[in-house]
Structure 1
Amino acid sequence: MTLISPRVSLAFRLALRELRGGLRGFYIFLACIALGTGAIAAVNSVSQSITDTISTRGQEILAGDVRFELNNREAAPAELDFLKSYGKVSVSTGLRSMARKPDGSDQALVEVKAVDDAYPLYGSFEAQPNYTLPKLLANQDGTFGAVAAPLLLERLGLKLGDELLLGNVMVNITGTLTTEPDAVSEGFGFAPRLMVSRQALQESGLIQTGSLVEHAYKVRLNDRSTLPDIRDRATKDFPAAGWSIRTSDRAAPSLTENIGRFSQFLTLVGLTALIVGGVGVANAVRAFLDAKRTTIATFKCLGAPASTVVLIYLFQIGLIALGGIAVGLVIGAAAPILAAQFLAQFLPVSTAPTLYPVALSLAVLFGVLTTLAFAIMPLGHAREVPPTALFREQGFEARRLPSWPYILMAAIFLAALAALAVVTAYDRFIAVVFIGAIAFAFVVLRLVAAGIAWLARRSPRVNSPALRLAIGNIHRPGALTPSVVLSLGLGLALLVTLTLIDGNLRQQLTGRMAGGAPNFFFVDIQGAELEGFRNLVTSQAPDGKLVEVPMLRGRILALNGEEVTKRKVPPSGQWVLRGDRGITYSETLPENAALTEGTWWPKDYSGEPLVSFSAEEAGELGLKVGDTVTVNVLGRNMTAKIANLRKVEWESLSLNFVMVFSPNTFKGAPHAWLATLTDQKATAADEAAILKSVTSRFPTITSVRVKDAIDIVNSLVAQLATAIRAAASVALIASVLVLSGALAAGNRARTHDAVILKTLGATRRMLMRAFCYEYLILGVATAIFALFSGGVAAWFIVARIMKIPSQFLPDVAGMTLVTALVLTVGIGLIGTWRILGQKAAPVLREL
Structure 2
Amino acid sequence: MAWRDSRASGKRLLLFMASIILGIAAVVSIQSFSANLKENIALQSKALMGADFLIDSNQPPTERVQMIIDSLGGADGKAVSFPSMAVFPNSGDTKLVGVKGVEGGYPFYGELETIPVDAGTSYQQMNGALVDATLMLQFEVKVGDSIKIGNTLFPIAGELVSVPGTGGVGASIAPPVWIPYGKIEETGLIQTGSRVGYDFYFVAKTDQDLEELDRVVDPQLDIENSDLDTHLSTGQRLGRSYENFGKFLNLVAFIALLLGCVGIASSVHIYIKEKLRSVAVLKCIGATRKQSFLIYLIQIAGMGFFGGILGVLTGLLLQQSFPLLLQGYLPFEVEVSLAPQAMLVGLVLGVLMSVLFALTPLISTWFVSPLQVLRVQEDKTTQSLKSRLLVLLAIMIFIFCFAFWLLGDWTYSLLFVLGILIVFAILGGTAILFMRLVKRFFPTSWGFTARQSLLNLFRPNNQTAVLILAIGVGTFLISTLYFTKDVLLAKTSLDATEQAPNLILLDVQTEQRDAAAKSIATSGLPVLNNIPIITMRVQQIKDRPVREIILDTTSTINQWILHHEFRVTYRDELIASETSEDGSWPSENTESGLIPISLAENVANDAQVGIGDKLIFNVQGVLMETIVANIRTVDWARMQINFSILFPSGVLENAPQFHVLTTNVANANASAKLQRKLVKQFPTVSIIDLRQVLTVIEGILNKISWVINFMAFFSILTGIIVLIGSVRTSKYQRIKESVLLRTLGAKSKQILRITALEYLYLGLLGSGIGLVLALLGSFLLARFVFETAFIPSWPPFIIVLPMITLLVLLIGLFNSKTVLQSPPLEVLRKEVS
Q: Quote the residue 2:437 is aligned against.
A: 455
Q: Quote the residue 1:7 is aligned against.
A: none
Superposed CA deviations along residues 721-754 of structure 1, whole A, max 9, x for unmatched, are 1111111111111111222222233223212111
Instruction: Return 724-733 or 501-510, whichever deviates more.
Output: 501-510
Separation in structure 1 between the aligned mates of residue 18 and residue 712 of structure 2, nearest angstrom: 17
Separation in structure 2 between the aligned mates of residue 719 and residue 834 of structure 1, nearest angstrom: 43
Q: Quote the residue 2:260 is aligned against.
A: 277
Instruction: Return 649-658 or 490-499, whichever deviates more.
Output: 649-658
Q: CA deviation at 1:582?
A: 5.0
Q: CA deviation at 1:664?
A: 9.7
Length, aligned pairs only = 823
**Corresponding position: 1:41 with 2:28:** yes
Counterpart mapping for 1:193-272 below 5 A: 193-235=176-218, 237-238=220-221, 240-252=223-235, 255-272=238-255
Amino acid at match of 1:673: H
Separation in structure 1 between the aligned mates of residue 804 and residue 495 of structure 2, nearest angstrom: 32
Instruction: Return 537-546 or 620-629, whichever deviates more.
Output: 620-629
Superposed CA deviations along residues 663-715 of structure 1, whole A, max 9, x for unmatched, are 89979764432232246xx3444333321221111000001111111111111
Are the equivalent residues in 2 in contact too, given 1:281–1:371 (CA < 8 A)? yes
Are the equivalent residues in 1 in contact too, given 2:536–2:617 (CA < 8 A)? no
Are the equivalent residues in 1 in contact too, given 2:587–2:596 (CA < 8 A)? no
Amino acid at match of 2:598: S
Gap change, CA 1:412 and 1:708, over 3 Å in 2? same
Gap change, CA 1:56 and 1:730, over 3 Å in 2? same
Instruction: Return 689-698 or 255-264, whichever deviates more.
Output: 255-264
Are the equivalent residues in 2 in contact too, given 1:377–1:402 (CA < 8 A)? no
**Corresponding position: 1:660 with 2:643:** no
Separation in structure 2 between the aligned mates of residue 667 and residue 766 of structure 1, nearest angstrom: 85
Amino acid at match of 1:756: L
Separation in structure 2 between the aligned mates of residue 637 and residue 804 of structure 1, nearest angstrom: 39
**Corresponding position: 1:596 with 2:581:** yes
SS of residue matched to 1:121: coil
Gap change, CA 1:757 and 1:633, over 3 Å in 2? farther
Q: Quote the residue 1:740 is aligned against.
A: 724
Q: CA deviation at 1:224?
A: 4.9
Instruction: Return 267-276 or 59-68, whichever deviates more.
Output: 59-68
Q: 1:677 aligns with which of 663, 667, 688?
A: 663
Q: Quote the residue 1:52 is aligned against.
A: 39
Instruction: Return 472-481 or 638-647, whichever deviates more.
Output: 638-647
**Corresponding position: 1:440 with 2:422:** yes
Separation in structure 2 between the aligned mates of residue 228 and residue 663 of structure 1, nearest angstrom: 48
Q: Quote the residue 2:682 is aligned against.
A: 698
Gap change, CA 1:442 and 1:683, over 3 Å in 2? closer
Gap change, CA 1:708 and 1:345, over 3 Å in 2? closer
Separation in structure 2 between the aligned mates of residue 575 and residue 180 of structure 1, nearest angstrom: 31
Q: TM-score, normalised by structure 2?
A: 0.90
Q: CA deviation at 1:135?
A: 0.8
Instruction: Return 605-614 or 469-478, whichever deviates more.
Output: 605-614
Are the equivalent residues in 2 in contact too, given 1:36–1:367 (CA < 8 A)? no
**Corresponding position: 1:374 with 2:357:** yes
Q: TM-score, normalised by structure 1?
A: 0.88
**Corresponding position: 1:94 with 2:118:** no
**Corresponding position: 1:484 with 2:470:** no
Amino acid at match of 1:370: M
SS of residue matched to 1:588: coil
Q: How large is the Cα RMSD of the aligned pairs? A: 3.5
Separation in structure 2 between the aligned mates of residue 91 and residue 417 of structure 1, nearest angstrom: 50
Gap change, CA 1:688 and 1:638, over 3 Å in 2? same
SS of residue matched to 2:580: strand
Instruction: Return 237-246 or 630-639, whichever deviates more.
Output: 630-639
Counterpart mapping for 1:298-313 below 5 A: 298-313=281-296
Separation in structure 2 between the aligned mates of residue 743 and residue 516 of structure 1, nearest angstrom: 59
Q: Quote the residue 1:10 is aligned against.
A: none
Gap change, CA 1:186 and 1:820, over 3 Å in 2? closer
Separation in structure 1 between the aligned mates of residue 267 and residue 552 of structure 2, nearest angstrom: 52
Amino acid at match of 1:410: L
Are the equivalent residues in 2 in contact too, given 1:61–1:185 (CA < 8 A)? no
Q: CA deviation at 1:297?
A: 2.6
Q: CA deviation at 1:549?
A: 2.5
Instruction: Return 464-473 or 250-259, whichever deviates more.
Output: 250-259
Separation in structure 2 between the aligned mates of residue 369 and residue 477 of structure 1, nearest angstrom: 29
Gap change, CA 1:634 and 1:27, over 3 Å in 2? farther
Superposed CA deviations along residues 759-814 of structure 1, whole A, max 9, x for unmatched, are 12111111000111111122222232122111011111223212232112334212
Separation in structure 2 between the aligned mates of residue 398 and residue 329 of structure 1, nearest angstrom: 39
Gap change, CA 1:637 and 1:114, over 3 Å in 2? farther
Separation in structure 2 between the aligned mates of residue 377 and residue 696 of structure 1, nearest angstrom: 76
Are the equivalent residues in 1 in contact too, given 2:492–2:639 (CA < 8 A)? no
Q: CA deviation at 1:411?
A: 1.4
Q: Quote the residue 1:468 is aligned against.
A: 451
Amino acid at match of 1:650: W
SS of residue matched to 1:303: coil
**Corresponding position: 1:83 with 2:72:** no
Counterpart mapping for 1:540-619 below 5 A: 540-552=523-535, 563=550, 580=564, 583-592=567-576, 593-600=578-585, 602=587, 607-608=593-594, 611-615=597-601, 618=604
Are the equivalent residues in 1 in contact too, given 2:2–2:295 (CA < 8 A)? yes
Separation in structure 2 between the aligned mates of residue 538 and residue 427 of structure 1, nearest angstrom: 55
Superposed CA deviations along residues 508-534 of structure 1, whole A, max 9, x for unmatched, are 555647887412111111222222222
Q: Quote the residue 1:68 is aligned against.
A: 55
Amino acid at match of 1:114: G
Amino acid at match of 1:241: E
Are the equivalent residues in 2 in contact too, given 1:264–1:426 (CA < 8 A)? no
Amino acid at match of 1:721: S
Instruction: Return 334-343 or 698-707, whichever deviates more.
Output: 334-343
Q: Quote the residue 1:31 is aligned against.
A: 18
Separation in structure 1 between the aligned mates of residue 257 and residue 101 of structure 2, nearest angstrom: 50
Q: Quote the residue 2:735 is aligned against.
A: 751
Q: 2:631 aligns with which of 638, 641, 645?
A: 645
**Corresponding position: 1:191 with 2:162:** no
Separation in structure 2 between the aligned mates of residue 240 and residue 663 of structure 1, nearest angstrom: 31
Separation in structure 1 between the aligned mates of residue 177 and residue 396 of structure 2, nearest angstrom: 54
Amino acid at match of 2:53: V
Gap change, CA 1:443 and 1:352, over 3 Å in 2? closer
Separation in structure 1 between the aligned mates of residue 484 and residue 444 of structure 2, nearest angstrom: 42
Q: CA deviation at 1:91?
A: 0.9
Q: Quote the residue 2:765 is aligned against.
A: 781
Counterpart mapping for 1:142-541 below 5 A: 144-183=127-166, 190-235=173-218, 237-238=220-221, 240-252=223-235, 255-340=238-323, 343=326, 346-347=329-330, 351-390=334-373, 402-425=384-407, 428-457=410-439, 458-510=441-493, 512=495, 517-541=500-524
Amino acid at match of 1:35: L
Are the equivalent residues in 2 in contact too, given 1:283–1:745 (CA < 8 A)? no
Separation in structure 1 between the aligned mates of residue 490 and residue 168 of structure 2, nearest angstrom: 32
Q: What percent of counterpart residues are identical?
A: 23
Instruction: Return 350-359 or 369-378, whichever deviates more.
Output: 350-359
SS of residue matched to 1:225: coil
SS of residue matched to 2:99: strand
Are the equivalent residues in 2 in contact too, given 1:614–1:658 (CA < 8 A)? yes
Separation in structure 2 between the aligned mates of residue 167 and residue 335 of structure 1, nearest angstrom: 48
Separation in structure 2 between the aligned mates of residue 544 and residue 41 of structure 1, nearest angstrom: 55
Gap change, CA 1:396 and 1:125, over 3 Å in 2? farther
Separation in structure 1 between the aligned mates of residue 209 and residue 162 of structure 2, nearest angstrom: 30
Are the equivalent residues in 1 in contact too, given 2:468–2:766 (CA < 8 A)? yes
SS of residue matched to 1:675: strand
Q: 2:107 aligns with which of 112, 116, 120?
A: 120
Separation in structure 1 between the aligned mates of residue 223 and residue 651 of structure 2, nearest angstrom: 17
Gap change, CA 1:694 and 1:237, over 3 Å in 2? same
Amino acid at match of 1:135: S
Separation in structure 2 between the aligned mates of residue 326 and residue 607 of structure 1, nearest angstrom: 75
